[in-house]
């Protein structure tokens, strides 16, 4: 094994050899876990999706899918008030992030983003040998003022942010789009869980040729297993992204699932409402037992014990078959990110947390 590693290192690009790689949330093989670590939706996708998938699982699977995902793009454009030329589909929004970094970031070029945030950004930039410029969030996770004055090829903003769940207003994003010198990407994977109307910056795409907005079907539409993402931008940016994407990047079944999901928005919205109610109960319960909890607009919350390393608490919960997310990173070691599960799962988590704290 060691010899094989030495041989591979001989051929591997040096910057790739030095990358640790993105670490996704744990997917346990054992049964019986309460899984609150990867922000999956606890409720099933629309019955229309399941019906459409059953019909699509036929002889046509021997054929390639649409190269440009035209059917899904057309439906999404109509749904969000844009043209097909303003939409690109991806193998999850993660693939669209990868395409964007490959399109707009060369060796030594700056990529700016507020931190702490989604750690995949670090990996994608390192692969391109770009310069990572993390601008610290203030304690309340409001938009850092220093972000506006950075000169960068690409500016990334996760909104609502992960792992904090906090939301930046559309007005602030509009100001940021005016200020940045390069492309601004607003990663809205969790936007459907935001409270109030008009939380998405998607309408700004019509007015700002440097703005890209990303959406995901993994969270609100309960389709994490299908890997579907959408990118919205000026037609020139979309055309550039099309040059970089894989030939058939979204498979036939995912295209069918995505279209069926968009045709049953009330189902998704009902599930979102259930999660929003449970999020409130989880937040109140965590505060009651002594955690600081940021106001979340996502399907997770960040629970903090300022100055305390919560690795031990994460490990004890895992021993009790409850998975949450712990990040061994500066500024996050005193926090846990907890996905909003069913009411029963939330009740079990709060019971165990209270029990652990009593023992400690």
pLDDT tens, N- to C-terminus, the chain (360 residues):
455 555 556 788 888 888 888 888 888 888 889 999 999 999 999 999 999 999 999 999 999 999 999 999 999 999 999 999 999 999 999 999 999 999 999 999 999 999 999 999 999 999 999 999 999 999 999 999 999 989 999 999 999 999 999 999 999 999 999 999 999 999 999 999 999 888 999 999 999 999 999 999 999 999 999 999 999 999 999 999 999 999 999 999 999 999 999 999 999 999 999 999 999 999 999 999 999 999 999 999 999 999 999 999 999 999 999 999 999 999 999 999 999 999 999 999 999 999 997 655
Class of domain 47-263: alpha beta
Before 171, cis peptide (omega within 30)? no
Alpha-carbon Rg of the chain, whole angstroms? 21
pLDDT value of residue 214: 98
pLDDT tens-digit series, residues 70-119? 999 999 999 999 999 999 999 999 999 999 999 999 999 999 999 999 99
Q: In 3-state terms, what secondary structure has residue 5?
A: helix
CA neighbor of 38 nearest in space, from 91, 92, 90, 97 = 92
CA neighbor of 154 nearest in space, from 178, 133, 175, 129 = 133
Length of the chain measured in residues: 360
pLDDT value of residue 278: 98
Q: How many CB atoms lie within 10 A of CB 234?
A: 19
The sign of the torsion formed by the CA atoms of 260, 91, 95, 325 equals: positive
Residues of the chain with CATH 3.90.1150.10: 25-44+266-359
Rounded to two decimals, what is the model's pTM?
A: 0.95
Class of domain 25-44+266-359: alpha beta
Strands 183-187 and 211-216: parallel
Between CA 299 and CA 303 the distance in angstroms is 13
The DSSP 8-state label assigned to residue 249 in this structure reads -
pLDDT value of residue 26: 85
Between CA 177 and CA 173 the distance in angstroms is 6
Spell out the residues 6+ positions from residue 44 whose beta carbon is closer than 8 angstroms to its own. Answer: 50, 222
Residues of the chain with CATH 3.40.640.10: 47-263
pLDDT value of residue 345: 98
pLDDT value of residue 14: 85
Tokens linked to 226: 């299908």
Between CA 70 and CA 174 the distance in angstroms is 29
pLDDT value of residue 11: 83
Q: What is the largest CA-CA distance in the chain?
A: 59
- C-alpha distance from residue 325 to each of 12, 276, 300, 339 (Å): 31, 20, 10, 8
pLDDT value of residue 279: 98
Q: In 3-state terms, what secondary structure has residue 87?
A: strand
pLDDT value of residue 299: 98
Between CA 204 and CA 176 the distance in angstroms is 11
Report yes or no: 117 and 161 within 8 Å, Cβ to Cβ.
yes
Between CA 109 and CA 258 the distance in angstroms is 35
């Amino acid at each position: 094994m060691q010899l094989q590693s030495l041989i591979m290192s001989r051929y591997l690009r040096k910057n790739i050899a030095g990358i640790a790689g993105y670490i996704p949330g744990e997917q346990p093989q054992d049964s019986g876990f309460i899984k609150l670590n990867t922000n999956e939706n606890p409720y099933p996708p629309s019955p229309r999706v399941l019906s459409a998938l059953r019909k699509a699982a036929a002889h046509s699977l021997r054929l390639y899918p649409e190269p440009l995902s035209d059917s899904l793009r057309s439906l999404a454009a109509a749904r969000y008030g844009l043209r097909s030329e303003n939409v690109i589909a991806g193998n999850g929004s993660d693939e669209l992030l990868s395409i964007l970094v490959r399109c707009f970031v060369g060796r030594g070029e700056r990529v700016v983003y507020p931190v702490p945030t989604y750690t995949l950004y670090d990996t994608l930039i390192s692969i391109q040998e770009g310069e990572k410029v993390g601008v610290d969030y203030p304690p309340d996770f409001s938009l850092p003022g220093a972000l506006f004055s950075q000169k960068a090829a690409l500016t990334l903003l996760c909104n609502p942010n992960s792992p904090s769940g906090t939301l930046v207003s559309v007005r602030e994003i509009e100001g940021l789009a005016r200020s940045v010198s390069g492309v601004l990407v607003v990663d809205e994977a969790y936007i459907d869980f935001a409270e109030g109307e008009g939380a998405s910056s998607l309408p700004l795409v019509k007015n700002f040729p440097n703005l890209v907005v990303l959406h995901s079907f993994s969270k609100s539409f309960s389709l994490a297993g299908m890997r579907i993402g959408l990118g919205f931008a000026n037609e020139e940016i979309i055309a550039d992204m099309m040059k970089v994407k894989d030939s058939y990047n979204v498979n036939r079944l995912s295209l069918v699932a995505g279209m069926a999901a968009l045709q049953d928005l009330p189902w998704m919205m009902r599930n979102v409402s259930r999660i929003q109610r449970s999020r409130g109960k989880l937040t109140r319960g965590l505060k009651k037992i002594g955690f600081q909890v940021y106001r979340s607009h996502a399907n997770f919350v960040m629970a903090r014990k300022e100055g305390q390393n919560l690795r031990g608490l994460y490990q004890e919960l895992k021993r009790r078959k409850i998975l949450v997310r712990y990040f061994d990173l500066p500024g996050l070691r005193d926090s846990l990110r907890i996905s909003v599960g069913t009411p029963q799962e939330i009740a079990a988590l709060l019971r165990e947390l209270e029990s652990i704290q009593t023992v400690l």
